[in-house]
Every structure is written in structure tokens, then in C-alpha cells.
Amino acid sequence: MKYLLLFFVLATTTFASQIKIAVAANVSYAIDELLTEFSKTHPNTKVQLILGSSGKLTAQIANGAPYGLFMSADMNYPQMLFKKNLALAPAKVYAQGRLAILSKRARSFKEGIKLLTSSQIRKIAIANPKTAPYGQATIQALKNAKVFTKVFKKFVYAESISQTVAYAITAADLGIIATSSLYSSKMRHFKEHLHWKNIDTTLYTPIKQGIVLLKKSKTNPDYKAFYNFIFTPKAQEIFKKYGYIIS
């Protein structure tokens, strides 16, 4: 009996697997549900998440971080890794993100993005456009709406889109955030058209989010399993639930 117990412990340890995946901050709101669903078919796979801005995660990967899969907030960063021979194949779009204006206080959104020019709006939280694709899309939207020169002095920069949400509900009057954050359990008390409004998607280039298997995934087939899972109808339905556009 003692030997059988020892064999069971060794077998459990042997067949347990851990994968490390780098995930863009905007996906953090949907990731718990994604992991719960993935675990139904891969109960012995432990997924370790590393969350951050896509730019910073890309830099970490380029410097040898032991991640086997990268879910970026855009296509450029994962494509860059593929060109540097750090990914197994070109990036593939798994979802399309959207921008929204968030106010911690109820207000009228009839003016849309022009609301940012109001003298009552003194601080606007945005993601750092140097490292966060959602920050880049924000700048593009403001320029196309012809309000950038009127509002750029109001900016409060955050390192990632998730930190932008934190700033928007604490230190700023408004924030330009990922729509996906508004569907998390902690944010659902903010109501559309009362606390937030989506920004017209014609004002910025579609935020196509890319995923790649990195070279370090070769030694563990569970990375490929997670990659394939992201494109299943169930996973895509979860992304849609969190406000992403699914093609």
C-alpha cells in the first residue's frame, strides 16, 4: 500500500505541468474565465500569468524571459518577436479591442469624445503610448477627432491599460480605457451612457490583438494546447462577453 501511495504521488508530480504565459494587461479582466474553461480539459496544467504592457512584456521576452506564449494587445509586438526568431510562427489575431471613455462620476456623454475638452475636465488618464497599444490608439483617436491639441496637457500617463483604469477612478476626472475592463465584476457598477461610452471605432485603427507561441514552448505541448484553446468557440464567446470584437 505504501508503494502504491508513493507511485501515485510520483505520477501526479510527473504528469502535472506548468506553463508561463505573458498576457497584455487588457486581457486580465477576461483571463480568469478563460483559465477556468481551459482547466476543464487540462486539469493538471498550472498556468502562471505575467501581466503587463505589451511593450514591456516584449522587452522581457527579447531579454530571455522564460515565457512560452505571448498574448499581446496588438499585432506589431508579437510580429517583432517572430522577426527576431523568438516565436515559432507569425502572430495570429485572437480578438479585437475597443476604447471607451470612463468617468467615476455620472455625467452626460452627448458630446462624445469632445467631452474631454470641457474646462471641468482637468485630468485625463491614458495608457503610455510608448509601451501600450491602447495608448497608441488613444492618441490616434484624439488626433482624428481634432481634440488632441486641446487636451494633451491634461494627460496622466499610466504604464498599462489596467493601471489607466485605476487612475481613472482615483486620480483623474476621465480615463480612456479598454472596454473589456468595464465587464469585470469590480467595474460593472459603472453604467454605459452614465459613467462610460465607447469611442467611435472609426477614429482609430482596429486594435487587433495577436498571439504567438514562443520558442520556449517547444518543450511543453500544453502551450500549444492553450494556444488552440484561445480560438475555440467557448474562448471566443468569453472574449465577446468582455466587450471584444470577434471576427
Note down pLDDT in tens along the chain; length 247 residues: 444 443 434 444 445 799 999 999 999 999 999 999 999 999 999 999 999 999 999 999 999 999 999 999 999 999 999 999 999 999 999 999 999 999 999 999 999 999 999 999 999 999 999 999 999 999 999 999 999 999 999 999 999 989 999 999 999 999 999 999 999 999 999 999 999 999 999 999 999 999 999 999 999 999 999 999 999 999 999 999 999 999 8
- Pairing verdict, β 155-158 and 17-24: unpaired
Cell of 67: 515565457
Residue 151 grid cell: 487636451
Q: Are 164 and 158 in contact (CB under 8 A)?
A: yes
C-alpha cell at 81: 518577436
110-117: long-range contacts, CB 8 A cutoff, minimum separation 24: 112/197, 112/199, 112/200, 113/141, 113/142, 113/145, 113/147, 113/199, 113/200, 113/203, 114/145, 114/147, 115/174, 116/142, 116/147, 116/150, 116/151, 116/154, 116/174, 117/147, 117/150, 117/151
Question: What pLDDT does 2 receive?
Answer: 45
Q: Domain segments of the chain: what residues?
A: 2-96+207-241, 98-203
Nearest to 125 by CA among 30, 52, 201, 134: 134
Query: Dihedrals φ, ψ of 95, to 5°?
Result: -170, 165
What is residue 247's DSSP assignment?
Answer: -
Q: In this structure, are residues 240 and 246 in contact, taking their beta carbons and an 8 Å threshold?
A: yes
**Which residues neighbour 21 within 8 Å (Cβ) at sequence distance 6 or greater?**
47, 48, 49, 50, 67, 68, 69, 70, 71, 223, 226
Report whether 38 contacts 226 (CB < 8 A): yes
| Dist CA 21 CA 193 (whole Å) | 35
Sign of CA dihedral 66, 67, 72, 76: positive
**Which pLDDT belongs to residue 150?**
98
- Other beta carbons within 10 angstroms of residue 30's beta carbon come to 23
Residue 208 bridge partners (DSSP): 96
In total, the chain counts a number of residues equal to 247
Does CATH place domain 2-96+207-241 in 3.40.190.10?
A: yes
- CATH superfamily, region 98-203: Periplasmic binding protein-like II (3.40.190.10)
Q: If you ran DSSP here, which 8-state letter would residue 245 be given?
A: B
Confidence at residue 143, expressed as pLDDT on a 0 to 100 scale: 98
68 SS3 class: coil
Q: In terms of pTM, does the model score above 0.85?
A: yes
